[in-house]
Amino acid sequence: DGGITQSPKYLFRKEGQNVTLSCEQNLNHDAMYWYRQDPGQGLRLIYYSQIVNDFQKGDIAEGYSVSREKKESFPLTVTSAQKNPTAFYLCASSKVLKTYEQYFGPGTRLTVT
Amino acid sequence: RKEVEQDPGPFNVPEGATVAFNCTYSNSASQSFFWYRQDCRKEPKLLMSVYSSGNEDGRFTAQLNRASQYISLLIRDSKLSDSATYLCVAPSTSGATNKLIFGTGTLLAVQP
C-alpha cells in the first residue's frame, strides 16, 4: 500500500538536544512538506521541497533544518535553537501540480523537557 | 485579519441533524478552497474541494460565497463517525504557488 510513514510516533528529548524526525513516502510524489500543529493553532508550514536536493523555508523555519537527498525521504531536524519544540509534527506529500491534495503521515508527537 | 478564520466550536449536534460551519478568508483573489477532516490525534485528510460552483459529495455540500468571502460546509443526516475537526484551507497569498494556509479547525461532536 502506498502512503507516508513517520517515525517515531512519540519522542521525548531533553532541552538542548537536536532530534531528527523521519518521513518516508512511496507515493512517487515530488513535493514534500513539514508542518507543526499546536493546540488552538492551524498547521504551520516549516519547510517544503518540490524536488530532490532543493527545499524552501516555510513560515516558521527558525530552529529547524531539512534535507532532501532522495525523492522518498524528507527528514526534519529540530535543533536546540528552536525555542518551543514541543508540538505535533506532520509530514505531507503531494504531486507538484496538485499541491492542495496533500497526503499526511500519522505524525510525531515531540516532547522536550 | 487572518488569512483563514474558523469558529473553533465545538458544535454539539444529535445524530441525524444537519450542521453547517463557515470559514472566512481574506484574499479576494483566491479561486479555490478545501476542507480537510482531522480525527482526534490523527493526521488531516482531504475531504473536498470548493470552487465557484460549489461541490456536493453524498451528505456533504461545500459552497463558496465570493461576495462575503466565506466558504461553508454543510453536513446532512449527521453520523457519529462525522465527529472530527474540520479544517478550512486556502492557497497562500504570499505568492508561493504550492503553499496552503490551514484554519484552526471547527470541532464537530455528533451525539447519540
At B38-87, the pLDDT tens digits run 999 899 999 999 988 889 999 999 999 999 999 999 999 999 999 999 99
What per-residue confidence (pLDDT) applies to A98? 83
What cell numbers appear for B50 in the block?
A: 470548493
Mean pLDDT, rounded, for A4-29: 94
Interface test with A, best of B35, B41, B100, B104 (most A CBs within 10 A): B100
Residue B71, judged by CB atoms within 10 A of its CB (0-12, 13-18, 19+), counts as buried
- Tell whether B9 lies on the interface with A, counting CB pairs under 8 A: no
Cβ neighbours of A91 in B, within 8 Å: none
Mean pLDDT, rounded, for A105-110: 96
A15 DSSP 8-state letter: T
% of residues, chain A, pLDDT over 90: 83
The distance of A41 to chain B (nearest Cα, Å) reads 5
How far apart CA B103 and CA B3 sit, in angstroms, is: 8
What per-residue confidence (pLDDT) applies to A99? 83
Interface test with B, best of A27, A43, A97 (most B CBs within 10 A): A43
Average model confidence (pLDDT) across chain A = 93
Mean pLDDT, rounded, for A100-106: 92
Residue A50, judged by CB atoms within 10 A of its CB (0-12, 13-18, 19+), counts as middle
Q: Nearest CA to B83 among B109, B48, B44, B46? A: B109
Mean pLDDT, rounded, for B95-107: 82
3-state SS class at B80: helix
pLDDT exceeds 80 at position A82: yes
Q: Which residue has the higher pLDDT, B88 or A100?
A: B88
List the end-to-end C-alpha distance of chain B, in Å, as a whole number.
Answer: 37
- Tell whether A51 lies on the interface with B, counting CB pairs under 8 A: no
Q: Which of B89, B91, B104 sits opposite A41 (nearest CB)?
A: B104
- Tell whether A85 lies on the interface with B, counting CB pairs under 8 A: no
Neighbours of A29 (CB within 10 A): 20
Q: Which of B43, B96, B97 sits opposite A104 (nearest CB)?
A: B43
What per-residue confidence (pLDDT) applies to B32? 86
What per-residue confidence (pLDDT) applies to B4? 92
- Tell whether B49 lies on the interface with A, counting CB pairs under 8 A: yes
Mean pLDDT, rounded, for B7-22: 95
